[in-house]
């Protein structure tokens, strides 16, 4: 799951100016975090394709952002695969979040290890969420600063 936190300590001077000029500072910060979530969704879908996690496309289409939520000192937004799917590999409905987690972190075989073919059934993870967060880091900061500066100047 990708997570963006905007704590008040991150942009101290910008937030101080924002509070002086605008009574709607918390709303502006929420908008900045919301726009940053859009960037992270875009990077996550690119990363899913790059890491070859696409089979049916259900995971790719299920990546969405949550609502920007107020925390103790700022706002946060989470980006993760949402919803359920039923396809050729999952006759019973399976959560996209679980499938994304297994693809991200991999799977070890929980057998005893005596059966050599069973021990090979595990696989390494393809960290599409972690790679997307790293790739989006600079763009997220730029987008958040643009929104905050636009509110300050406009």
Per-residue pLDDT tens over the stretch 73-110: 788 999 999 998 887 776 788 888 988 898 888 887 65
List strand residue ranges (DSSP E) for 1-154, in order. 2-7, 63-65, 69-70, 74-81, 84-87, 90-95, 106-107, 123-124
**How far is residue 26 CA from its own chain's centroid?**
22
Residue 113 lies in a domain: no
Residue 120 lies in a domain: no
Residue 64 lies in a domain: yes
**In this structure, are strands 74-81 and 2-7 parallel, antiparallel, or unpaired?**
antiparallel
The count of structural domains within the chain is: 1
Residue 146 lies in a domain: yes
More confident residue, 89 or 133: 133
Query: Model-level pTM?
Result: 0.75
Provide the domain limits for residue 145.
2-81+128-153
Residue 65 lies in a domain: yes
Q: pLDDT tens digits for 44-53?
A: 999 999 988 8
């Amino acid at each position: 799951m990708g997570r963006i936190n905007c704590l008040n300590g991150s942009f101290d001077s910008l937030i101080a100016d924002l509070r002086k000029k605008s009574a709607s500072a918390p709303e502006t910060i929420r908008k900045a975090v919301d726009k940053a979530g859009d960037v992270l969704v875009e990077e996550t879908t690119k990363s899913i394709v790059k890491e070859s996690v696409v089979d049916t496309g259900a995971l790719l289409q299920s990546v969405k952002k949550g609502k920007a939520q107020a925390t103790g000192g700022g706002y946060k937004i989470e980006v993760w695969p949402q919803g359920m799917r039923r396809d050729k590999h999952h006759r019973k409905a399976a959560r996209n979040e679980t499938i994304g987690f297994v693809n991200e972190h991999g799977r070890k075989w929980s057998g005893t290890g005596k059966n050599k073919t069973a021990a090979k059934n595990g696989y390494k993870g393809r960290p599409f969420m972690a790679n997307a967060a790293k790739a989006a880091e600079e763009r997220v900061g730029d987008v958040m600063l643009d929104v905050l500066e636009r509110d300050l100047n406009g």
